[in-house]
Amino acid sequence: MLRSRRLLATADMAVAAVRCDGGGSAWSAPEPIGHFGLVLVRSGLFRRRVEGSEIVVDACSGYLERAGSEQRIAHPIGGDVCTTFTVDGAVLDATTRGAALPRERADAPIFTSPTVDVAHRALLARVTAGADTEELAERALLLVGTVVAGLAPKAVAAGFPTQRRAERVVDQVRQAVAADPGLRLADLARVTELSPYHLSRLFHRSSGVTISRLRSRLKVRQALDRLADGQRDLAALAAEAGFADQAHLTRTVRRETGRTPGQLRALLAPSGRGQPRLVHRG
């Protein structure tokens, strides 16, 4: 029995958790594949046959799904749990700079590094924690891009600009997000003329934070200012600062500051309560 649960859905990518109880050593019926995808295995083992080529996939590996191919699956020793990443073709082309992935690599098992395995499980943990869509999408894109970079390293590396250009890109992103915090990663990629993967990786490498973390930090700073101005209604504050709801506000503020909004409200309260406020002199 196959069960699938959607974890993330954007215009460019879908991520799902898939659990299969296993059907024995017999091959399944042919399954046509209509999209590009990456499958990472969390637990279990199974065999996969694509156009006469057979591989074994386990928790230390994954594989690509090629649009237009057909697969059969067999479970010789039980079931499995996987995470599937379905990626828009335009995003893949931008990530590889238009270079096709080598056919022999595409149908072979991909042996994942500890870095990929940790990033995979960190993504799932953030889903469970209720992280916002932009953070999850950036994490998922970086994960897929890292795997693809290992299959076509020269093509992917060609997309990274010089250090001076990287610094200008970071400034472009900071300015664009400050002007419109609602800009998605894909929007910022168009502004900087980079692929979403290259932009996300470049920004993180140059600034030390992801773009989604930058966006969260700006929202938290806005929330701090509103608390210092006397905002008492946390639900209203969440809406003003661009959080999904009060719970999202609380989780993000606690992660960034180590305190809840309620604690910060008492600490930053005006009219003599809490810490003294700065006085601006003309």
pLDDT of 119-166, one tens digit each?
999 999 999 988 889 999 999 999 998 888 777 666 555 556 667 788
- Which phi and psi (to 5°) does residue 119 adopt? -60, -35
pLDDT at 66 over 50: yes
Task: Indicate if 179 and 98 belong to the same structural domain.
Answer: no
277 inside domain: no
Task: Indicate if 226 and 257 belong to the same structural domain.
Answer: yes
Please tell me the predicted confidence (pLDDT) of residue 180.
87
- Express as a percent the part of the chain with pLDDT over 90: 39
Task: Indicate if 78 and 8 belong to the same structural domain.
Answer: yes
Q: How confident is the model at residue 178 (pLDDT cuts 50, 70, 90)?
A: confident
Mean pLDDT over 228-240 rounds to 90
Task: Indicate if 185 and 234 belong to the same structural domain.
Answer: no
Region of poorest pLDDT, from 89-98, 173-182, 201-210: 89-98
Question: What element of type H or E holds 16?
Answer: strand 13-20
The rounded distance, in Å, linking the Cα atoms of 41 and 121 is 11
For residues 106 and 60, is the Cβ–Cβ distance under 8 A?
no
Range of the domain at 199: 159-208
175 inside domain: yes
Task: Indicate if 176 and 230 belong to the same structural domain.
Answer: no
pLDDT at 276 over 80: no
Task: Indicate if 62 and 107 belong to the same structural domain.
Answer: yes
Task: Indicate if 76 and 40 belong to the same structural domain.
Answer: yes
Query: What's 37's domain CATH number?
Result: 2.60.120.10
- Express as a percent the part of the chain with pLDDT over 70: 88
Please tell me the predicted confidence (pLDDT) of residue 101.
66
Please tell me the predicted confidence (pLDDT) of residue 242.
87
163 inside domain: yes
Please tell me the predicted confidence (pLDDT) of residue 116.
92
Domain boundary, last residue among 81, 112, 143: 112
Q: Give the residue from 190, 246, 199 showing the smallest Cα distance to 223.
A: 246
| Average predicted confidence (pLDDT) for the chain | 85
pLDDT at 279 over 60: no
Number of domains forming the structure of the chain: 3
